[in-house]
Structure 1
Amino acid sequence: MRRFNPKWFKEYESWLEYSIEKDAAYCLYCYLFRQDVGMQSGDDSFVTKGFNSWNKKEKLDLYVGGVNSAHNQALKNGENIMKQNQHIQSVFVKQSNQDKIEYRTQLNAIVDCIRFLLHQGLAFRAHDESDNSSDKGNFLNLLQFLADHNDVINEVLQKTPKNSKLTHPDIQKDIANAVAYKTTDAIIEDIGNGFFLILVDESHDISIKEQMVVVLRYVDKKGIVIERFLGIIHVVDTSALSLKVAIEFLFSKYALSLSRLRRQGYDGASNMQGEFNSLKTLILKENKSTFYIHCFAHQLQLTLVTVANKHTDIAEFFSLVSKIVTIVGASCKRREFLQNAQLAKITEALNLVGVRPRRNAPQITNLHHYRVDLFFEIIDLQLQELNNRFSEVTTNLLLCMACLNPSDSFLAFDIQKLTHLAKFYPSDFSETDVLALDNQLQTYIVDMRSNDEFLELKGIGDLARKMVETNKDVIYSLVYLLVKLVLTLPIATATVEGSFSAMKYIKNELCNRKGDQWLNDCLTVYIEKDIARRIDNESIKQRFQNMKPHRRQL
């Protein structure tokens, strides 16, 4: 049975088409561009009906006809139209490329302005941003300042339509969110697969909304202890369950797992560190290695308050100081008078110090004015109170951790206590690892005490950095793991308190309507500006581009 010969495509490649469904050949150019001038050169079988007389190949040549045939005229018309289309397409591509260049220039300028305002913690908008306003807000004024000093940016902004200025508040928030996301993403990447601890505290903002701050503490790849702001979350109430749900939400957002958590650091509130149904207890139920450490600064403060209340002389002293502060602080004149009187006393004391006594002359001191017995009594009370505030587990942890201190040629080193410390973390040290750690510690201490580079170290932080520098973290991998676990111990929640200070600066009386996400983004970039500065504009623009599908392509 005869059929279409595929070799004909090479001979008539400029126009021949074949339909498998209809088993017929067609002329593409005549179908698209042939003028209606009646039946010519083989009727219209190659246009509408299709040609399938496979034993009459000569009809293909007959259909093509002479130079002035309808087929060749259609071919010429098609070539002319295609050339015109190619020219139009070329012009369109050039214009499209120019539009993309201008769009990228415009977006770059806007991203730069937003990043500057975020780094400085400044407000974006003003009350009146209309064209006739004398103060359009920091963002629009900064963008105009940038355009005034850059002709390329100014030209692009002038020719951009009003509906494509990219200055709408929603655009500003999306770009700020992109900067904040890339900043936090860099922090998560720095943690890698390592473990970390969380520092958590809550406080209300200027609009009386309860906000919870979460800070991560970890040891980076250089052996340096880092504390980074993870996020701030609005919580409806401060119950332990609500706080745990908020933390889990934040962890899931950044693909963090509670299994990698090793410690918790909070203040002394009952909902945070109580024995039953507190945040500490709820997290411990899921991860037994997340030991809770009460902020040392809070403990010291509570200890001093307790001791002051127990001792009559000290209680009277602080009561007197409180009255003086209240009386003097209520009057500018009294405050200035007290400052001048104190300045006069300091000047007199400095003048007395400047007079040197004769050699072998008796030294005159004011030591007899101090009650030494009272001093030692207070110290003893403070030590007793501090001991009462540390649990047995916490005390054991601290005593074992102290054995890694490299001071005085590793004087505090104790193998038994360090292997006991490893047993507190069964998820990191199996029974086999504990045995291997014991052998490794014996070699480690000999190496450390015989190496001059490790003899002048002042603390465990210095030890971790030096181990990484000298590749000892690889040689003594289990010891270094123990060092990292010790370094995650939270001494204080100062970073969290600093975040609340930044919150009061970002969300103040003049900017008291910031939403929760907007506040979080502003705080992330402002607090972690050292990381935010290292992020390039291109990654921010790509993140902004992918946030919504209908945005222009870069």
Structure 2
Amino acid sequence: MTLSALHNGEVFTGRGLNQEISLWCPGEARWGSHYESLIRLITMFSSVVHVLEIVLEDDISSEQRGEAFALLDSIQYFDFSFCLHLMKDILGITAELSDALQRKDQDIVNAMSLVQISKIRLQDMRDNKWDAFITRVSLFCVEHKIITPDLNDKWIARGRSRRGHQEMTNLHHYRVDIFYTVLDMQLQELNNHFTEANTELLLCIACLNPSNLFSAFNKDKLIKLANLYPSDFTSSDLMILDNQLETYITDMKLDVQFSLLKDIGSLVEKMIQSRKEILYPLVFRLLKLALVLPVATAGVERAFSAMAIIKNRLRNGIGDQWMNDTLIAYVEKEILDCIVNDVIIHLFQNMKNRMYKL
């Protein structure tokens, strides 16, 4: 369809044009981009095969011809189509959860709801969706002239000797060894990362969110949160906190300067500016605990991605201090943009005596 549209002049080639029908380049730390890539590949599969065939026939580079041959051999195989659709379905189930966890203004309550929904959908896919899934994969293979194996035949590992392998049918291999195994791994990962205790902790922290005039506030859950930190809150502190939370929430709702806050970080800043952290020390302690709680956010993912970029093959011997300084400069670009060059030059010049002045 894409090729005919190009020949008929309905769409045009060029940089930045027709991106809705081009292959999507996935990001290293954004799973949503992988989902888009798989959808584009399924939609444009015939065009991809056609382009690879052109490269195989016409390209003068033996290296590119070899890569094109290897890719054609791989993607025109049933295993590739099976895994392509399986990963597309799994990433589709967790797409909204992934987006919710990567947003800076995280809505923890809705995110935790999406965790439960993802678990339910993955379990339902495992228990009830095999027949519909294998039918969809088979139709895709028929459409693109890919040989579909008989599921009742004996499975033979491609490119390997038949000796020493456990005998099984194609049905067992694709359904049990791949379909069930991958879905079980996804469910296990979600259960490991979002246990019942972790989920309850996050929901309690969400009650501190000041957005929508502190609509998420729940005193009972905040008392429960304080109970999780016995070294920070004594039994007498808990009794004081019960009353202090009532005064605190009434004050926050009456004070206009707190009405437009969107996250816990801005709430802490405003409390310090207005010196209310002195009035509500126990509530402020809860806020500090919420800020330092090591939750896996998009910021943490970006920091690890930056680490892979900073400490590359050419900087393999970089020291901890140098890497730390470089990572701060790379990750906190918005803050560094606010610092004028004269300040940086002055600081660098005063670090030690130098022969020349910048």
TM-score (norm 1): 0.28
| Higher RCO (CA < 8 A, seq sep 6+) | 1
TM-score (norm 2): 0.40
Which of the pair has more CA radius of gyration? Answer: 1
Higher strand share goes to which structure? 1
Higher helix share goes to which structure? 2
